[in-house]
């Protein structure tokens, strides 16, 4: 009986260590997809500033300085303001609630908190972000939330978020397949499943990537085969 309990404790520790290894591995690589399309968001809201009402326009204008700070990796100023004319993403999200700009401010605020290592706060803001009907920004935002869940050791939520992000990206692609975003998101889901010792589920995801995303870098470089081989053992 004692041996069984000791073995169970050992297996639990191995699982936790594996989960922590995943988190440490990805700590400096989160939000890659978001960073790659941030310029798209900038363009969208520069346009919206001219076609929406005064309150939305004022909020969009307020975002401008924060986006500059964010681009310069001055995350604390971007989040909390500069003590001069810029209030910060957190304040914009609060003061202009209900506007598209405030919604985007929640996204930015979540990313800032994450880059500052404040994962609980990042989760709050990213959960408040209302995903829109688009192919790039919203799927990447949902995947960013998945990364935050992983850091907060909410691994099942992280897996669900990565799967949801991939499905959304595919649904908006012209041919129903987003070869750039979806495989990346699914790969993260698979890695977490492996950290939970769910090899069969991880293997299924890796095989789906190889089958459905033929033009992705993972498949073209045969990198996905390494994951399949590892999950098969």
Stronger pLDDT, 133 or 30, i.e. the higher one: 133
- Report the C-alpha gap between 30 and 143 in whole angstroms: 9
Please give the residue that has the higher pLDDT: either 180 or 38: 180
Give per-residue pLDDT as tens, 37-80.
554 555 555 545 444 566 667 777 788 889 889 888 899 999 99
Q: Are 166 and 175 in contact (CB under 8 A)?
A: no
**What average pLDDT does this structure show over 110-128?**
94
**What are the structure tokens assigned to 184, written together?**
């990346």
Q: Which residue has the higher pLDDT, 94 or 11?
A: 94
Residue-wise pLDDT for 18-40, tens only, equals 545 555 555 545 555 555 555 45
- For the stretch 188-233, pLDDT in tens is 999 999 999 999 999 999 999 999 999 999 999 999 999 999 999 7
Residue 210: its pLDDT value, please? 96
- Report the percentage of the chain scoring pLDDT > 90: 55
What whole-number distance in Å separates Cα of residue 108 and Cα of residue 63?
10
pTM for the model stands at 0.80
What b/e sequence results for 77-109 when a residue is b if at least 16 CB atoms lie within 10 Å of its CB, and e otherwise?
Answer: bbbbbeeeebbbbbbbbeebeebbbbbbbbbbb
Q: What is the pLDDT of residue 136?
A: 84
Query: Band of the pLDDT at 100, cuts 50, 70, 90?
Result: confident
Q: Is the pLDDT of residue 145 over 50?
A: yes
Confidence (pLDDT) at 37: 56
Residue 38 is predicted with a pLDDT of: 55
pLDDT at site 52: 53
**DSSP 8-state code for residue 174:** T
């Amino acid at each position: 009986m004692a041996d069984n309990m000791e073995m169970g404790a050992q297996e639990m520790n191995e699982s936790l260590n594996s989960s922590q290894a995943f988190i440490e591995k990805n700590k400096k690589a989160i939000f890659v997809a978001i960073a790659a399309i941030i310029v798209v968001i900038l363009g969208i809201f520069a346009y919206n500033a001219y076609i929406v009402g005064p309150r939305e326009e004022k909020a969009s204008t307020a975002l401008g300085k924060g986006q500059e700070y964010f681009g310069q990796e001055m995350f604390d100023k971007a989040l909390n303001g500069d003590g001069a004319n810029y209030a910060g993403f957190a304040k914009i999200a609060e003061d202009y609630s209900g506007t598209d700009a405030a919604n985007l401010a929640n996204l930015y605020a979540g990313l800032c908190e994450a880059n500052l290592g404040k994962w609980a706060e990042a989760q709050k803001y990213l959960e408040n972000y209302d995903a829109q009907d688009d192919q790039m920004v919203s799927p990447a935002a949902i995947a960013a939330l998945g990364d935050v869940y992983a850091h907060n050791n909410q691994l099942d939520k992280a897996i669900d978020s990565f799967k949801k992000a991939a499905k959304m990206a595919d649904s908006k692609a012209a041919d129903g397949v987003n070869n750039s975003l979806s495989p990346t998101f699914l790969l993260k889901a698979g890695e977490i499943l492996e950290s939970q010792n769910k090899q069969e589920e991880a293997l299924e995801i890796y095989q789906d990537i190889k089958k459905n995303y033929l033009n992705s870098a993972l498949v073209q470089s045969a990198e996905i085969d390494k994951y399949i081989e590892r999950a098969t053992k």
